[in-house]
Homo-oligomer: A and B are copies of this chain.
């Protein structure tokens, strides 16, 4: 078995998150052969990260014939030149020629891209974004990110900082966002904002089952709210409807601008399932322009925490093959 692996081509994908380092090896059909997730720890330092990756590649090379490496990074990175402008939440990662540095050490081709672009590719080629030419991936978490596939290719704009749906303004007045904007989508439906909103409004709803949950546990989670919605709790149902309308408003803008065919929603709050998706689909259908509203399908992401790894490996393979993607 080790021998078989050695003869086939493999690709290493790394999802370099703000808190975790995830990596995985895929074969040329993008089957995930193995993967691992670990806290970033000392890898917050770029030099330590290079040493660690060198050791990792050396170890994996005993089992796999690694043809190239792909990285997904959380922040603005220059795909063409393999350069990292900066990473969100990782202050030592600034102005780094990552591709050059790593290729010198490893003697294997290295490619990098934005992490949500990587996840978008996974959904587009292997997940619920298949079968169209124009797709948007929306990743809901503490931050709200996006990836755009337009006319069958990752859309990169001038500097590969695109699809920032978290920073589409929903209102002329509103909270000031870290990005400099006002009333950004992220400042309404980022995980922490949602929870603080839920906690604030729950005080007016002692009848909700979540009031008892909070009394018992000390706080509530987004999963608690979904659980309560499943039990028919009106506060919880309304909470997800309200969230769907905020997300929906940003999607209406995107849909009217881009006549997108598939909107793939992933990340934490996508776990709310029909409580989020039903009102979201209805909102976009009613509010978007006629043709655009009919053309778009809003679907849940197929891949969860592996999307970044696999997408990074897709980038590794396609970039190596000089295939445009």
Contacts and interface: CB of A to CB of B under 8 A. Distances in A.
A41 B288 CA distance: 33
A249 B171 CA distance: 9
Interface stretch (A155-163, A208-216, A301-309, A314-322): A155-163
A57 interface: no
Interface stretch (A27-35, A256-264, A271-279): A256-264
A295 B258 contact: no
A256 B167 CA distance: 7
Measured as residues with beta carbon below 8 angstroms from the partner, the interface class of chain A is: 35 or more
Contacts of A171: 170-172
Please give the count of copies of this chain that the complex contains. 2
Interface stretch (A13-21, A117-125, A177-185): A177-185
Interface string A264-301: 00000000000000000000001111111101000000
B158 A261 contact: yes
A16 to B, nearest CB: 19
B289 A252 contact: no
A233 interface: no
A224 interface: no
A253 B168 contact: yes
B252 A181 contact: yes
A165 interface: yes
Given A253-B169, A289-B179, A159 B258 contact: no
Interface string A129-172: 00011100000000000101011010111111111110111111
A76 interface: yes
A257 B162 contact: yes
Interface centre among A257, A260, A287 (most CB of B within 10 A): A257
14 contacts: A134-B158, A148-B257, A150-B150, A150-B155, A151-B156, A155-B258, A162-B258, A165-B257, A169-B170, A169-B249, A170-B171, A172-B245, A180-B290, A254-B257
Interface of A: 76, 85, 132-134, 146, 148, 150-151, 153, 155-165, 167-172, 179-182, 245-246, 249-250, 252-254, 256-261, 286-293, 295
